[in-house]
Amino acid sequence: MVPGVTAESNKSVEVPARDGNLGRCGKLEREETRGVKNPGEEKHTMRESGHVSALINPMDGLIRVRRTAHVPAERDNELSPATGVAGAFFLTYKRFFTDSAEAERFVRASLEHEGYRANTNGDFVRTPLEAVIQAILNAPGAPEAGQRDSSVDNTPISNQPDEFLAGLIVSDQPVWKEVWEKAEASYYGLGSELQDHEEALKLYEQAARLGAIEAYRSLGIMYREGEGCVQSNTKALEYLKEGARGGEMRCYAEMAELFTNQDQDQNAQKCWDRYFSSPPSEGVGSYCYSYFQMCKGRKWPISHEDQLRKHFSELQRQAETMSSMARDRHSGLVSKFAEDEKEIKRRFGSL
């Protein structure tokens, strides 16, 4: 329970300041709801059961505390046009209350007491998600053990329910997915989006903060190449290392190219060793081709010939693509790519 906030009826309490000293930070008051004194007061005193939910906008981390009389949807697309905030809101936690209006007031007052602020709309609270969930858990009016949620009559109730676990929501789509897709659209200029590397960089950074491990690879490449930012090998290496720590194996291949550009062949070969220890299917043809070219250009022994044989079909398609691009652009490298294509077929095409 938040210090100074009480669930008892008809009580007014002083709320302690955040430093622990008593201070009049405000009062929480509850109206008597056991009877309607006159028709004019009825709309203020009737209880309305429903859910109090926490929804998150992955674009900027805004969290909305929302009260609904029905079971809340996992995704709320109607918020964005009304508030001017980009992107959908995703349900992360919900709890049923016999008096959802009072529970919502309690949650908002608790968060304000903790020093968190709502925007001018009053709907969004910039605060850690954990703090919002805890405030909902502390709110009065949740059903007692064994009492049913009247809005979900077909949901069995455990003899000893865990309210926290029961309220957690799992979505098939991670919260960073929408941000990641917008970053990809801005980077490549997909659909109606204009190609904008600076915007893509910002979106990739947001996606990374929200948990998109693959975003670190994109950020590493952009800083290595100076796309939408000031070129920085140091930042590129930091992002690629972070992605590799999270299990994004392609970051090792990108680090290999970074070290090769810096004439650090030993580090580059170690990174290729890490990549080929468990190469993901995505982009394997492109990375196998890059490895083949690096070995050929720098006269390295092809230590991972078994992997090039294993992924020969993807490697061959990449070689054909490179040859075709050279021909279309009338590049002087047509003969070089054609030779690579023939060598790849001869050397790795038979098991």
> Which three-class secondary structure string do you get for the chain?
CCCCCCCCCCCCCCCECCCCCECCCCCCCCCCCCCCCCHHHHHHHCCCCEEEEEEECCCCCCEEEEEECCCCCCEECCHHHHHCCCCCEEEEEEEEECCHHHHHHHHHHHHHHCCCCECCCCCEECCCHHHHHHHHHHCCCCCCCCCCCCCCCCCCCCCCCCHHHHHECCCCCCCCHHHHHHHHHHHHCCCCCCCCHHHHHHHHHHHHHCCCCHHHHHHHHHHHHCCCCCCCHHHHHHHHHHHHHCCCCHHHHHHHHHHHHCCCHHHHHHHHHHHHHCCCCCCHHHHHHHHHHHHHHCCCCCCCHHHHHHCHHHHHHHHHHHHHHHHHCCCCCHHHHHHHHHHHHHHHCCC
Q: pLDDT value at position 33? A: 34
- 239 pLDDT higher than 50: yes
Q: pLDDT value at position 195? A: 96
What mean pLDDT, rounded, does the chain reach?
Answer: 77
Q: Is residue 30 part of a domain?
A: no
- 313 pLDDT higher than 70: yes
Q: Is residue 65 part of a domain?
A: yes
Average pLDDT over residues 187-205: 95
Which tens digits make up the pLDDT trace of 128-162? 888 888 888 888 888 765 454 555 444 444 445 56
Q: Is residue 238 part of a domain?
A: no
- 4 pLDDT higher than 50: no
Structure tokens at 176: 């960073």
- 339 pLDDT higher than 80: yes
Q: pLDDT value at position 108? A: 83
Amino acid identity, residue 79?
L
Sorted by sequence, the CB contacts under 8 Å of residue 48 that are 6+ apart come out as: 69, 99, 100, 101
Which tens digits make up the pLDDT trace of 31-81? 333 333 444 444 444 678 888 888 887 776 778 888 887 766 655 554 444
Q: pLDDT value at position 253? A: 97
- 30 pLDDT higher than 80: no
Q: Is residue 104 part of a domain?
A: yes
Q: Is residue 93 part of a domain?
A: yes
Q: Is residue 56 part of a domain?
A: yes
Q: pLDDT value at position 168? A: 66
Domain count, the chain: 1
Q: Is residue 117 part of a domain?
A: yes
Confidence of residue 10 (pLDDT cuts 50, 70, 90): very low
Q: Is residue 25 part of a domain?
A: no
Confidence of residue 1 (pLDDT cuts 50, 70, 90): very low
Q: pLDDT value at position 87? A: 60
Which tens digits make up the pLDDT trace of 86-117? 567 788 888 888 888 888 888 888 887 777 87
For the ranges 164-168, 195-199, 238-242, 339-343, the lowest mean pLDDT is seen at 164-168
- 209 pLDDT higher than 90: no
Average pLDDT over residues 14-41: 37
**Residue 76, strand partner residues:** 89
Instruction: Supply the range of the domain harboring residue 112.
Output: 39-167
Q: pLDDT value at position 115? A: 79
